[in-house]
Amino acid sequence: MDTVKHLGELAIGSRLRRLSDRLLANVNRIYQEHGLNFETRWFLMFYQLHLKSPMSITEIAAATGFTHPAIIQLSDELIKVGLIASVTDTTDKRRRLISLSAKGIEMLGHLKPVWHQIEEAHRQISREIGMDLLSTLERYEEILDERDIYERVTHATKVSSASDIVIHTYAPRFKKYFKSLNIEWLKKFFTIEPLDRKILSHPETIIKDGGEIFFAEWNGKIVGTCAVLNNKAGIYELAKMAVTEKAQGKHIGWKLGSHAITWAQKSKGKTMVLETSRKLDAALALYRKLGFVLVANPEPSKYERSTIKMELRLR
């Protein structure tokens, strides 16, 4: 059994590496049989210097997509075999300028016919496959540039985690979590003010005044909470949102916020407001994602800490 083939998409990186190694070994063999002292790993840098010389190490790295250290290593190898020359830039003595040497230019003349044959061999393979392989590879790279494997897997993991989250409304058994989660969050970013203690110690008041408190359960534990305060006249306030640090990065805040907004809409709310701090980048990003926008706050904040006001039209 061919393990790489058996693994399919899971091993596509390994399969491409194996294919690359096979192709490069073929080309190295071609060079040897033509009596050319040339290595496939030199090709991109050497060809780039054929297109444009002289170039700095940084310019070659940018043009080829290789790292700066890799270009330095390749240049050392090519200098050793005499195919390139290196001189100090007269305008900046810290820079080395690289160009093809006389021997390199002579080697280029021998390589070009071989490259043409290699290029034609690849075209034959594409015709036998019945597809434009280069166009497919280019499109694959474009899609990776837009959203690579890491981003896709990270997003899928977060979405999967979010689907395991259960949202509860307030019940006496959740009271302690409303306070403990918020205290944990406040201690990390601010000082706990008297108003904080008052709200967190008496969550029943929020419910009696026509508001609601939500709790996020994940893996059997309460890991997040937020409150919706009823400010009357169709205005609700999103407040006291906190997610324990160990459960962050799982879209729990987004799910809590979405539930809070839906609840306020069903309660005939017209507007939802909130107060937050400019230094809370993650919170600001979440609120914007939920649809909140910054607005002027004509009234002084209820808190001693500096806050800004955001607003969301519910209907």
DSSP line for 192-211: --HHHHHHHH-THHHHHTT-
Q: Which CATH number fits domain 34-146: 1.10.10.60, 3.40.50.300, 1.10.10.10, 2.40.110.10?
A: 1.10.10.10
pLDDT digits (tens, 9 = 90+) for 104-114: 999 999 999 99
- Please determine whether the domains at 34-146 and 164-313 fall in the same fold group of CATH: no
Q: Would you report the helix, strand and coil content of the chain in percent, each value rounded to 5?
A: 55, 20, 25
Please provide the average confidence, as pLDDT, over all residues in the chain.
92
Q: Does position 263 have pLDDT exceeding 90, yes or no?
A: yes
Query: Three-state DSSP class for 39?
Result: coil
Residue-level pLDDT at 221: 94
Q: Which segments within 49-171 are labelled E, that is strand? A: 55-56, 84-88, 96-100, 166-169
Q: Does position 216 have pLDDT exceeding 90, yes or no?
A: yes
Q: Does position 32 have pLDDT exceeding 90, yes or no?
A: yes
Share of the chain above pLDDT 90, in %: 78
Q: Does position 163 have pLDDT exceeding 70, yes or no?
A: no
Element (H, E) at 309: strand 308-313
Average pLDDT, integer, range 12-32? 95
Residue-level pLDDT at 51: 96
Average pLDDT, integer, range 188-198? 90
Between CA 271 and CA 311 the distance in angstroms is 7
Under 8 Å between Cβ of 24 and 43: no
Strands 96-100 and 55-56: antiparallel
Between CA 41 and CA 110 the distance in angstroms is 17
User: CA-based angle 31:32:35, to the nearest 5?
Assistant: 90
Kindly list the distances between the CA atom of residue 269 and the CA atoms of 82, 212, 272, in Å, as whole numbers in the listed order: 78, 13, 7
Q: Does position 31 have pLDDT exceeding 90, yes or no?
A: yes
Residue-level pLDDT at 295: 93
Residue 124 CB partners (closer than 8 Å, separation 6+): none
pLDDT digits (tens, 9 = 90+) for 40-69: 999 999 999 999 999 999 999 999 999 999
The structure's pTM equals: 0.56
Q: Domain locations in the chain?
A: 34-146, 164-313
pLDDT bin (cut points 50, 70, 90) of residue 33 is very high
Residue 167 in tokens: 């949202």
Q: Does position 224 have pLDDT exceeding 80, yes or no?
A: yes
**Tell me, what DSSP letter sits at residue 131?**
S
Residue-level pLDDT at 161: 62
Q: Does position 160 have pLDDT exceeding 80, yes or no?
A: no
Domain 164-313 belongs in CATH node 1.10.287.130? no
User: CA-based angle 86:91:92, to the nearest 5?
Assistant: 70
Between CA 224 and CA 141 the distance in angstroms is 39
Under 8 Å between Cβ of 14 and 3: no
Q: Does position 234 have pLDDT exceeding 70, yes or no?
A: yes
